[in-house]
Structure 1
Amino acid sequence: MNFINEAIEEYAESHTSAESALLYDLNRETHLNVLIPRMLSGHLQGRTLSMLSHMIRPKNILEIGTYTGYSALCMAEGLVENGSIDTIDLNEELQPIIHKYWDQSPFKDQINLHIGNALSIIPTLKKEYQLVFIDADKENYMAYYHLLFDLVPSGGYILADNVLWSGNVLEKPEEMSESTKAITAFNTFIQNDERVENILLPIRDGLTIIRKK
Protein backbone atom coordinates (compact mmCIF):
# COMPACT_ATOMS: atom_id res chain seq x y z
CA MET A 1 0.00 0.00 0.00
CA ASN A 2 2.98 2.33 0.52
CA PHE A 3 3.28 3.33 -3.12
CA ILE A 4 3.12 7.07 -2.31
CA ASN A 5 6.51 8.54 -1.35
CA GLU A 6 6.93 7.77 2.36
CA ALA A 7 8.80 11.00 3.10
CA ILE A 8 5.97 13.03 1.55
CA GLU A 9 3.40 11.04 3.52
CA GLU A 10 5.34 11.60 6.76
CA TYR A 11 5.58 15.32 5.99
CA ALA A 12 1.82 15.46 5.37
CA GLU A 13 1.12 13.70 8.67
CA SER A 14 3.46 16.04 10.54
CA HIS A 15 1.46 18.98 9.22
CA THR A 16 -1.93 17.46 10.04
CA SER A 17 -3.81 17.85 13.32
CA ALA A 18 -3.02 15.06 15.75
CA GLU A 19 -5.36 12.15 16.32
CA SER A 20 -6.82 11.92 19.82
CA ALA A 21 -5.13 9.84 22.52
CA LEU A 22 -7.93 7.28 22.20
CA LEU A 23 -7.45 6.97 18.44
CA TYR A 24 -3.68 6.77 18.90
CA ASP A 25 -4.08 3.88 21.31
CA LEU A 26 -6.52 2.10 18.97
CA ASN A 27 -4.15 2.66 16.06
CA ARG A 28 -1.25 1.23 18.05
CA GLU A 29 -3.14 -1.80 19.36
CA THR A 30 -4.43 -2.61 15.88
CA HIS A 31 -0.87 -2.62 14.51
CA LEU A 32 0.41 -4.72 17.40
CA ASN A 33 -2.35 -7.30 17.71
CA VAL A 34 -4.62 -7.44 14.66
CA LEU A 35 -4.08 -9.18 11.33
CA ILE A 36 -3.49 -6.92 8.30
CA PRO A 37 -3.25 -3.62 10.25
CA ARG A 38 -2.84 -1.65 7.03
CA MET A 39 -6.63 -1.95 6.70
CA LEU A 40 -6.95 0.69 9.44
CA SER A 41 -7.54 4.21 8.10
CA GLY A 42 -4.77 5.72 10.20
CA HIS A 43 -3.84 9.25 11.16
CA LEU A 44 -3.90 11.14 7.82
CA GLN A 45 -6.98 9.50 6.36
CA GLY A 46 -8.70 9.48 9.73
CA ARG A 47 -8.30 13.25 10.01
CA THR A 48 -9.57 13.54 6.44
CA LEU A 49 -12.70 11.57 7.35
CA SER A 50 -13.20 13.71 10.43
CA MET A 51 -12.78 16.93 8.45
CA LEU A 52 -15.25 15.82 5.77
CA SER A 53 -17.76 14.77 8.42
CA HIS A 54 -17.42 18.15 10.16
CA MET A 55 -18.01 19.88 6.80
CA ILE A 56 -21.05 17.77 5.92
CA ARG A 57 -22.52 17.66 9.46
CA PRO A 58 -24.47 14.45 8.81
CA LYS A 59 -27.41 13.28 10.86
CA ASN A 60 -26.81 9.68 9.79
CA ILE A 61 -23.66 7.96 8.56
CA LEU A 62 -23.39 4.50 6.98
CA GLU A 63 -20.08 2.67 6.96
CA ILE A 64 -19.45 -0.59 5.11
CA GLY A 65 -16.36 -2.18 6.64
CA THR A 66 -15.80 -1.47 10.34
CA TYR A 67 -12.50 -3.29 10.93
CA THR A 68 -11.36 -2.18 14.43
CA GLY A 69 -13.64 0.86 14.56
CA TYR A 70 -11.10 3.63 13.97
CA SER A 71 -12.81 5.26 10.98
CA ALA A 72 -16.22 5.18 12.66
CA LEU A 73 -14.82 7.14 15.60
CA CYS A 74 -13.27 9.67 13.21
CA MET A 75 -16.49 10.26 11.29
CA ALA A 76 -18.55 10.42 14.50
CA GLU A 77 -16.70 13.62 15.39
CA GLY A 78 -18.73 15.52 12.78
CA LEU A 79 -22.19 14.18 13.60
CA VAL A 80 -24.92 16.63 14.51
CA GLU A 81 -26.34 16.31 18.00
CA ASN A 82 -28.26 13.04 18.34
CA GLY A 83 -26.83 11.81 15.03
CA SER A 84 -25.85 8.19 14.54
CA ILE A 85 -23.60 5.80 12.61
CA ASP A 86 -24.56 2.38 11.29
CA THR A 87 -21.43 0.38 10.54
CA ILE A 88 -21.37 -3.11 9.03
CA ASP A 89 -18.72 -5.82 9.16
CA LEU A 90 -18.57 -9.58 8.60
CA ASN A 91 -15.87 -10.24 11.19
CA GLU A 92 -17.39 -10.74 14.63
CA GLU A 93 -13.99 -11.61 16.14
CA LEU A 94 -12.95 -7.95 16.27
CA GLN A 95 -15.84 -6.90 18.51
CA PRO A 96 -13.80 -6.94 21.76
CA ILE A 97 -11.27 -4.40 20.48
CA ILE A 98 -14.00 -2.35 18.77
CA HIS A 99 -16.07 -2.00 21.92
CA LYS A 100 -13.01 -1.51 24.14
CA TYR A 101 -12.37 1.80 22.40
CA TRP A 102 -15.89 2.83 21.45
CA ASP A 103 -16.97 2.45 25.08
CA GLN A 104 -14.32 5.01 26.06
CA SER A 105 -15.50 7.56 23.50
CA PRO A 106 -18.23 10.21 23.81
CA PHE A 107 -19.91 8.60 20.78
CA LYS A 108 -20.47 5.13 22.27
CA ASP A 109 -24.27 5.49 22.22
CA GLN A 110 -24.31 6.84 18.65
CA ILE A 111 -22.49 4.01 16.87
CA ASN A 112 -24.48 0.91 15.90
CA LEU A 113 -22.47 -2.16 14.89
CA HIS A 114 -24.13 -4.64 12.52
CA ILE A 115 -22.37 -7.99 12.15
CA GLY A 116 -23.19 -9.79 8.92
CA ASN A 117 -23.26 -9.50 5.14
CA ALA A 118 -23.70 -5.88 4.07
CA LEU A 119 -25.56 -6.97 0.93
CA SER A 120 -28.25 -8.42 3.20
CA ILE A 121 -28.17 -5.71 5.87
CA ILE A 122 -28.29 -2.59 3.69
CA PRO A 123 -31.82 -3.32 2.33
CA THR A 124 -33.11 -3.51 5.93
CA LEU A 125 -31.90 -0.01 6.82
CA LYS A 126 -34.69 2.54 6.78
CA LYS A 127 -32.71 5.75 7.16
CA GLU A 128 -31.46 8.53 4.93
CA TYR A 129 -27.67 8.84 5.07
CA GLN A 130 -25.95 12.14 4.39
CA LEU A 131 -22.54 10.44 4.47
CA VAL A 132 -21.56 6.90 3.42
CA PHE A 133 -18.09 5.32 3.61
CA ILE A 134 -17.39 2.18 1.54
CA ASP A 135 -14.30 0.33 2.75
CA ALA A 136 -14.94 -3.40 2.39
CA ASP A 137 -14.37 -6.21 -0.14
CA LYS A 138 -13.52 -4.64 -3.47
CA GLU A 139 -15.42 -7.14 -5.61
CA ASN A 140 -18.69 -5.84 -4.14
CA TYR A 141 -18.08 -2.08 -4.37
CA MET A 142 -20.48 -1.78 -7.30
CA ALA A 143 -23.15 -3.83 -5.55
CA TYR A 144 -22.86 -1.73 -2.40
CA TYR A 145 -23.05 1.48 -4.41
CA HIS A 146 -26.21 0.44 -6.21
CA LEU A 147 -27.87 -0.77 -2.99
CA LEU A 148 -27.18 2.35 -0.97
CA PHE A 149 -27.55 5.01 -3.67
CA ASP A 150 -31.24 5.62 -3.01
CA LEU A 151 -30.55 5.96 0.74
CA VAL A 152 -28.44 9.05 0.04
CA PRO A 153 -30.32 12.34 -0.50
CA SER A 154 -29.45 14.91 -3.13
CA GLY A 155 -26.39 16.75 -1.82
CA GLY A 156 -25.28 13.72 0.20
CA TYR A 157 -21.82 12.20 -0.02
CA ILE A 158 -20.40 8.73 -0.65
CA LEU A 159 -16.73 8.03 0.08
CA ALA A 160 -14.91 5.04 -1.39
CA ASP A 161 -11.57 3.85 -0.03
CA ASN A 162 -8.67 1.98 -1.69
CA VAL A 163 -9.57 3.24 -5.15
CA LEU A 164 -5.91 3.29 -6.23
CA TRP A 165 -5.39 -0.23 -4.86
CA SER A 166 -1.65 0.18 -4.18
CA GLY A 167 -1.22 1.60 -7.68
CA ASN A 168 -2.40 -1.62 -9.27
CA VAL A 169 -5.12 0.28 -11.17
CA LEU A 170 -2.34 1.20 -13.63
CA GLU A 171 -1.62 -2.41 -14.56
CA LYS A 172 -2.47 -3.80 -17.97
CA PRO A 173 -5.98 -5.34 -17.90
CA GLU A 174 -4.68 -8.82 -18.66
CA GLU A 175 -2.34 -8.61 -15.64
CA MET A 176 -4.96 -7.42 -13.14
CA SER A 177 -6.25 -9.51 -10.25
CA GLU A 178 -10.01 -9.83 -9.78
CA SER A 179 -9.91 -7.23 -7.00
CA THR A 180 -8.05 -4.78 -9.21
CA LYS A 181 -10.50 -5.33 -12.05
CA ALA A 182 -13.38 -4.66 -9.65
CA ILE A 183 -11.82 -1.40 -8.44
CA THR A 184 -11.05 -0.15 -11.95
CA ALA A 185 -14.60 -1.01 -13.07
CA PHE A 186 -15.97 0.89 -10.08
CA ASN A 187 -13.76 3.91 -10.79
CA THR A 188 -14.85 3.95 -14.43
CA PHE A 189 -18.52 3.66 -13.50
CA ILE A 190 -18.32 6.54 -11.02
CA GLN A 191 -16.49 8.72 -13.53
CA ASN A 192 -19.33 8.18 -16.01
CA ASP A 193 -22.26 8.32 -13.57
CA GLU A 194 -24.08 11.55 -14.50
CA ARG A 195 -26.03 11.47 -11.23
CA VAL A 196 -22.94 12.46 -9.25
CA GLU A 197 -19.88 14.69 -9.08
CA ASN A 198 -16.64 13.01 -8.03
CA ILE A 199 -13.00 13.58 -7.20
CA LEU A 200 -10.35 10.89 -6.65
CA LEU A 201 -7.74 12.00 -4.13
CA PRO A 202 -4.31 10.29 -3.81
CA ILE A 203 -4.60 10.10 -0.03
CA ARG A 204 -3.08 6.91 1.37
CA ASP A 205 -4.49 4.20 -0.95
CA GLY A 206 -6.83 6.54 -2.82
CA LEU A 207 -10.09 8.09 -1.58
CA THR A 208 -12.94 9.04 -3.92
CA ILE A 209 -15.41 11.69 -2.79
CA ILE A 210 -18.77 11.39 -4.55
CA ARG A 211 -21.52 14.01 -4.24
CA LYS A 212 -25.00 13.05 -5.31
CA LYS A 213 -26.55 15.77 -7.46
Structure 2
Amino acid sequence: MTQEIWSKVDEYIFDALIPADRTLDEALLASDEAGMPPIAVAPNQGKLLHLLAKMIGARSILEIGTLGGYSTIWLARALPPEGRLVTLEYYPKFAEVARKSIDAAGVGERVDIRIGEALDLLPGVEGPLDLTFIDADRVNNPAYFEAALKLTRPGGVIVIDNVVRAGAVADPANTSDEIEGLRRMHELIAAEPRVDATALQTVGKKGYDGLTIVLVTS
Protein backbone atom coordinates (compact mmCIF):
# COMPACT_ATOMS: atom_id res chain seq x y z
CA MET A 1 0.00 0.00 0.00
CA THR A 2 1.21 3.50 -0.80
CA GLN A 3 0.30 7.08 -0.01
CA GLU A 4 -1.09 7.34 -3.54
CA ILE A 5 -3.58 4.55 -2.87
CA TRP A 6 -4.53 5.95 0.54
CA SER A 7 -5.23 9.35 -0.98
CA LYS A 8 -7.22 7.86 -3.84
CA VAL A 9 -9.46 5.94 -1.44
CA ASP A 10 -9.94 9.06 0.67
CA GLU A 11 -11.06 10.96 -2.42
CA TYR A 12 -13.52 8.15 -3.22
CA ILE A 13 -14.95 8.35 0.32
CA PHE A 14 -15.23 12.13 0.13
CA ASP A 15 -17.06 11.95 -3.20
CA ALA A 16 -19.33 9.10 -2.15
CA LEU A 17 -20.35 10.10 1.37
CA ILE A 18 -19.38 13.69 2.15
CA PRO A 19 -21.08 16.35 0.04
CA ALA A 20 -19.04 19.33 -1.08
CA ASP A 21 -19.22 22.12 1.49
CA ARG A 22 -18.05 25.56 0.46
CA THR A 23 -17.92 26.86 4.02
CA LEU A 24 -15.61 24.07 5.17
CA ASP A 25 -13.47 24.44 2.06
CA GLU A 26 -13.13 28.17 2.74
CA ALA A 27 -12.11 27.45 6.32
CA LEU A 28 -9.25 25.29 5.05
CA LEU A 29 -8.31 27.93 2.49
CA ALA A 30 -8.24 30.63 5.16
CA SER A 31 -5.92 28.47 7.25
CA ASP A 32 -3.61 27.94 4.28
CA GLU A 33 -3.56 31.65 3.46
CA ALA A 34 -2.68 32.44 7.08
CA GLY A 35 0.32 30.12 6.86
CA MET A 36 -0.99 27.54 9.30
CA PRO A 37 0.36 23.99 9.12
CA PRO A 38 -1.90 21.73 7.00
CA ILE A 39 -2.79 19.45 9.89
CA ALA A 40 -6.57 19.85 10.17
CA VAL A 41 -8.53 16.61 10.29
CA ALA A 42 -9.53 15.14 6.92
CA PRO A 43 -13.18 15.52 5.81
CA ASN A 44 -14.06 11.93 6.69
CA GLN A 45 -12.50 12.39 10.12
CA GLY A 46 -14.44 15.61 10.62
CA LYS A 47 -17.60 13.77 9.65
CA LEU A 48 -16.75 11.03 12.16
CA LEU A 49 -16.49 13.61 14.95
CA HIS A 50 -19.79 15.11 13.81
CA LEU A 51 -21.52 11.72 13.84
CA LEU A 52 -20.11 10.73 17.23
CA ALA A 53 -21.42 13.99 18.70
CA LYS A 54 -24.86 13.40 17.18
CA MET A 55 -24.95 9.74 18.24
CA ILE A 56 -24.61 10.67 21.91
CA GLY A 57 -26.87 13.71 21.64
CA ALA A 58 -24.03 16.05 22.60
CA ARG A 59 -25.00 19.43 24.00
CA SER A 60 -21.62 20.41 25.45
CA ILE A 61 -18.28 19.84 23.73
CA LEU A 62 -14.67 20.68 24.55
CA GLU A 63 -11.98 20.87 21.89
CA ILE A 64 -8.31 21.15 22.79
CA GLY A 65 -6.55 22.61 19.75
CA THR A 66 -8.63 24.88 17.51
CA LEU A 67 -6.16 25.51 14.68
CA GLY A 68 -8.21 27.16 11.92
CA GLY A 69 -11.60 26.00 13.17
CA TYR A 70 -12.22 23.22 10.64
CA SER A 71 -12.92 20.46 13.16
CA THR A 72 -14.65 23.03 15.38
CA ILE A 73 -17.21 23.66 12.65
CA TRP A 74 -17.86 19.95 12.18
CA LEU A 75 -18.45 19.55 15.92
CA ALA A 76 -20.49 22.73 16.39
CA ARG A 77 -22.84 21.73 13.57
CA ALA A 78 -23.72 18.59 15.54
CA LEU A 79 -24.96 20.66 18.49
CA PRO A 80 -28.53 21.83 18.99
CA PRO A 81 -29.03 25.61 18.82
CA GLU A 82 -28.65 25.92 22.59
CA GLY A 83 -25.52 23.74 22.64
CA ARG A 84 -22.09 25.04 23.57
CA LEU A 85 -18.57 24.28 22.44
CA VAL A 86 -15.46 25.54 24.20
CA THR A 87 -12.29 25.34 22.12
CA LEU A 88 -8.80 26.09 23.42
CA GLU A 89 -6.09 27.54 21.19
CA TYR A 90 -2.57 28.60 22.11
CA TYR A 91 -1.87 30.93 19.19
CA PRO A 92 -3.90 34.19 19.00
CA LYS A 93 -3.39 34.35 15.21
CA PHE A 94 -4.90 30.89 14.76
CA ALA A 95 -7.83 31.81 17.01
CA GLU A 96 -8.49 34.95 14.96
CA VAL A 97 -8.62 32.99 11.71
CA ALA A 98 -10.77 30.31 13.33
CA ARG A 99 -13.24 32.86 14.67
CA LYS A 100 -13.86 34.28 11.19
CA SER A 101 -14.41 30.83 9.70
CA ILE A 102 -16.63 29.67 12.55
CA ASP A 103 -18.77 32.81 12.28
CA ALA A 104 -18.99 32.39 8.50
CA ALA A 105 -20.27 28.85 9.09
CA GLY A 106 -23.17 30.23 11.12
CA VAL A 107 -22.23 28.50 14.37
CA GLY A 108 -20.39 31.35 16.06
CA GLU A 109 -22.94 31.74 18.85
CA ARG A 110 -22.30 28.17 19.98
CA VAL A 111 -18.49 28.47 20.06
CA ASP A 112 -16.36 30.00 22.80
CA ILE A 113 -12.71 30.30 21.72
CA ARG A 114 -10.29 30.67 24.64
CA ILE A 115 -6.67 31.62 24.01
CA GLY A 116 -3.69 30.44 26.02
CA GLU A 117 -1.97 27.35 27.33
CA ALA A 118 -4.54 24.56 27.48
CA LEU A 119 -3.33 23.38 30.87
CA ASP A 120 -3.89 26.90 32.22
CA LEU A 121 -7.34 27.19 30.62
CA LEU A 122 -8.74 23.76 31.50
CA PRO A 123 -9.49 24.56 35.16
CA GLY A 124 -11.89 27.25 33.92
CA VAL A 125 -13.89 24.90 31.70
CA GLU A 126 -17.23 23.94 33.22
CA GLY A 127 -18.65 20.46 32.98
CA PRO A 128 -20.33 18.17 32.57
CA LEU A 129 -19.21 17.62 29.00
CA ASP A 130 -20.68 15.20 26.51
CA LEU A 131 -17.67 15.00 24.18
CA THR A 132 -14.04 16.11 24.28
CA PHE A 133 -11.80 16.19 21.23
CA ILE A 134 -8.06 16.37 21.98
CA ASP A 135 -5.98 17.47 19.00
CA ALA A 136 -2.99 19.32 20.39
CA ASP A 137 0.60 18.67 21.48
CA ARG A 138 1.09 15.01 22.34
CA VAL A 139 3.52 15.75 25.17
CA ASN A 140 0.67 16.96 27.38
CA ASN A 141 -1.88 14.35 26.29
CA PRO A 142 -1.75 12.53 29.65
CA ALA A 143 -2.77 15.73 31.45
CA TYR A 144 -5.37 16.55 28.79
CA PHE A 145 -6.93 13.12 29.19
CA GLU A 146 -7.06 13.42 32.99
CA ALA A 147 -8.69 16.86 32.73
CA ALA A 148 -11.19 15.62 30.15
CA LEU A 149 -12.12 12.65 32.32
CA LYS A 150 -12.91 14.93 35.25
CA LEU A 151 -15.19 17.02 33.05
CA THR A 152 -16.93 14.35 30.96
CA ARG A 153 -20.19 12.77 32.12
CA PRO A 154 -20.80 9.02 32.24
CA GLY A 155 -21.83 8.04 28.73
CA GLY A 156 -19.69 10.81 27.28
CA VAL A 157 -16.86 10.32 24.83
CA ILE A 158 -13.24 11.47 24.61
CA VAL A 159 -11.52 11.33 21.22
CA ILE A 160 -7.76 11.82 20.89
CA ASP A 161 -6.18 12.44 17.49
CA ASN A 162 -2.68 11.65 16.21
CA VAL A 163 -1.96 8.67 18.45
CA VAL A 164 -0.02 6.43 16.06
CA ARG A 165 2.40 8.86 14.40
CA ALA A 166 3.33 6.64 11.45
CA GLY A 167 3.88 3.69 13.79
CA ALA A 168 6.29 5.50 16.11
CA VAL A 169 4.12 4.78 19.14
CA ALA A 170 5.00 1.08 18.80
CA ASP A 171 8.71 1.63 18.14
CA PRO A 172 10.65 1.06 21.38
CA ALA A 173 13.62 2.93 19.92
CA ASN A 174 11.55 6.12 19.75
CA THR A 175 11.70 7.81 23.16
CA SER A 176 10.82 11.35 22.08
CA ASP A 177 8.74 13.44 24.45
CA GLU A 178 5.81 13.30 22.02
CA ILE A 179 5.77 9.53 21.75
CA GLU A 180 6.35 9.01 25.46
CA GLY A 181 3.38 11.31 26.07
CA LEU A 182 1.18 9.12 23.91
CA ARG A 183 2.34 5.96 25.65
CA ARG A 184 1.75 7.46 29.08
CA MET A 185 -1.74 8.55 28.02
CA HIS A 186 -2.60 5.03 26.89
CA GLU A 187 -1.25 3.63 30.16
CA LEU A 188 -3.52 5.98 32.08
CA ILE A 189 -6.52 4.99 29.96
CA ALA A 190 -5.79 1.27 30.39
CA ALA A 191 -5.51 1.64 34.18
CA GLU A 192 -8.62 3.79 34.56
CA PRO A 193 -11.65 1.76 35.74
CA ARG A 194 -14.12 4.50 34.76
CA VAL A 195 -13.50 4.20 31.01
CA ASP A 196 -13.53 1.71 28.15
CA ALA A 197 -11.45 2.44 25.07
CA THR A 198 -9.92 1.38 21.80
CA ALA A 199 -7.60 2.89 19.21
CA LEU A 200 -7.75 2.77 15.43
CA GLN A 201 -4.97 3.13 12.90
CA THR A 202 -5.88 5.47 10.05
CA VAL A 203 -4.43 6.00 6.61
CA GLY A 204 -5.41 8.55 4.00
CA LYS A 205 -4.52 11.94 2.61
CA LYS A 206 -3.13 12.87 6.02
CA GLY A 207 -0.75 9.92 5.97
CA TYR A 208 -0.53 7.19 8.60
CA ASP A 209 -1.80 7.94 12.09
CA GLY A 210 -4.72 7.02 14.35
CA LEU A 211 -7.44 7.88 16.85
CA THR A 212 -8.09 6.75 20.40
CA ILE A 213 -11.78 6.67 21.35
CA VAL A 214 -12.72 6.55 25.04
CA LEU A 215 -16.17 5.92 26.50
CA VAL A 216 -16.63 7.25 30.02
CA THR A 217 -18.59 4.52 31.77
CA SER A 218 -18.92 5.86 35.32
TM-score with structure 1 length normalisation?
Answer: 0.89
| Maintained 8 Å contact 2:61/2:130 | yes
Q: Which amino acid aligns with 1:131?
A: L
Separation in structure 2 between the aligned mates of residue 166 and residue 198 of structure 1, nearest angstrom: 21
Q: Could you list the per-position Cα deviations for residues 55-110 of structure 1 after superposition, in whole angstroms to 9, with x for gaps in the alignment?
A: 12211100100000111110011112300100001100123321221121221111
Paired with 1:176 and 1:15, the residues of 2 have a C-alpha distance of: 40
Q: SS in structure 1 opposite 2:212?
A: strand
Provide closer, same or farther for how the CA distance between residues 127 and 47 of structure 1 changes in structure 2, counting only shifts above 3 A: same
Distance 1:73 1:201, change over 3 A: same
User: Tell me, what secondary structure is at the counterpart of 1:174?
Assistant: coil
SS in 2 for 1:211: strand
Q: Displacement, 1:51?
A: 1.2
Query: Partners in 2 of 1:181 and 1:194 — Cα distance?
Result: 22
Corresponding residue number in structure 2 for 1:179: 178
Provide closer, same or farther for how the CA distance between residues 183 and 60 of structure 1 changes in structure 2, counting only shifts above 3 A: same
Q: Which residue of 2 aligns with 1:8?
A: 9
Question: How far 1:32 moved relative to its partner?
Answer: 4.7
Q: Taking every aligned residue pair, what percent have the same amino acid on both sides? A: 29
The 8 Å contact of residues 67 and 95 in structure 2, kept in 1 or not, is answered as no
Counterparts in 2 of 1:88-103, with a 5 A limit? 88-103=88-103
C-alpha separation in 2, matches of 1:203 and 1:18: 21
Structure 1 residues 155 and 17 mapped into 2: Cα distance closer, same or farther (>3 Å)?
same
Where structure 2 has 5 or more consecutive residues not aligned to the other structure, the ranges are: 204-208
Partners of 2:170 and 2:15 in 1: CA distance: 29
Query: What RMSD over aligned residues (CA atoms) do the two structures have, in Å?
Result: 2.0
Shift of 1:180: 1.3
Distance 1:212 1:19, change over 3 A: farther
Correspondent of 2:210 among 199, 206, 210: 206
Closer, same or farther: CA 169–12 of 1 in aligned 2, 3 Å:
farther
Mapped pair 1:35 → 2:36: yes
Q: How many residues align?
A: 210
CA–CA separation in structure 1 for the residues paired with 2:22 and 2:55? 23
Matches within 5 A, 1:1-213: 5-37=6-38, 39-171=39-171, 173-204=172-203, 205-213=209-217
CA 1:35–1:108 in structure 2 vs 1: closer, same or farther (change >3 Å)? closer
Q: In the alignment, is the contact (CA less than 8 A) between 2:61 and 2:132 conserved in 1?
A: yes
Give the deviation of 1:161 after TM superposition.
0.4
Which whole-Å CA distance do the structure 2 matches of 1:175 and 1:126 have between them? Answer: 36
**Aligned residue identity for 2:212:** T
Unaligned runs of 5+ in 1: none
**For residues 127-162 of structure 1, what are the alpha-carbon distances to aligned partners after superposition, in whole Å with 9 as ceiling and x for unaligned?**
311000011110101011112212111111111000
